[in-house]
Structure 1
Amino acid sequence: MGISFDNALGIHQHTLGVRAQRAEVLSGNIANADTPGYKAQELDFEAALNSAKHGQSMQMTRSHENHISHQVDAQDELLYRVPLQPDTGDGNTVDLQQERNAFMQNSLEYQASLEFLGSKFSGMKKALRGE
């Protein structure tokens, strides 16, 4: 009888990847805070998580055959954020404080997912040792 990692690890194995994707989107927003015309983006967490849970991993297009072939592309789950403040005239919709707060919250949730996965693996090791 084999071990089903999907059953043993629960949803945390999927949330880790989605939170990493969201961190990339948020860091892109922060990096483009001063870029005229840049529209702040957000990852639809539920849609991305459902895709990850159902094994619908998406491939990024590669510009060179030596690039890593298995990376997740969240284009289907990307949304544009509605700005909370009026336009400053340059068309940029990034609110730096909002992006930093979202990035920090996502980092804490990523760390929590790591902790949950660590405890799941620890429990599996104990079970395999018969403790």
Structure 2
Amino acid sequence: MIGKLDDYLRFNETALSLRAQRQEVLASNIANADTPNYKARDIDFASALQNAVAKGGQGGGPLSTTAKAHYPNGAADGKALADGTPVLYRTITQGAVDGNTVEMDTERTQFADNALRYEAGISMINHQIRELMTAIQSGGQ
């Protein structure tokens, strides 16, 4: 019974976990916008979610690259999220003299988009819980 409940909630739980971790990476980019030679990083959310779901929500393995600037099948500076998802360098569109690749407009947009999608994920989980509560309450009558 508990296993079925876990399965029912696992996708949104996994998505929320990845969104929270991505938010930390994006916040780190924004915090280091003035740090010389800091390289902006991000995760490939779609691939990370696909890998996590394929592994039963227990984390993902190395991702394939989506841009030439990404490290092949590896993480930026060997760093990865807690679940093993590599953190990749963002593609440089406009470099800075000090070597910093953070573009504040891009980071703000990605941060806001990710926050909005996180809120949508919370709404989905709330909806699932309400459905379960309705089923439980009507099941005894």
What TM-score range do you get, normalising by the shorter chain?
0.7 to 0.9
| Corresponding pairs, count | 116
1:45 deviates by 1.1
CA distance change for structure 1 residues 89 and 33 in 2, over 3 Å: closer, same or farther? same
1:78 alignment counterpart: 87
Q: Does 1:126 align with 2:126?
A: no
CA distance change for structure 1 residues 20 and 42 in 2, over 3 Å: closer, same or farther? same
Separation in 2, partners of 1:75, 1:40: 19
Superposition RMSD in Å: 2.0
Letter in 1 for 2:43: L
1:52 alignment counterpart: 52
Q: Percent identity?
A: 40
Q: Classify the secondary structure of the residue corresponding to 1:36.
A: coil
1:101 deviates by 0.3
Separation in 2, partners of 1:6, 1:28: 32
Q: Classify the secondary structure of the residue corresponding to 2:20.
A: helix
Larger RCO, structure (CA 8 Å, separation 6 or more):
1
TM-score calculated relative to the size of structure 2 = 0.74
Q: What 5-or-longer segments of structure 1 have no aligned partner?
A: 59-71
TM-score calculated relative to the size of structure 1 = 0.79
Deviations for 1:68-98, whole angstroms, at most 9, x for unmatched residues? xxxx62554210001221x221000000110
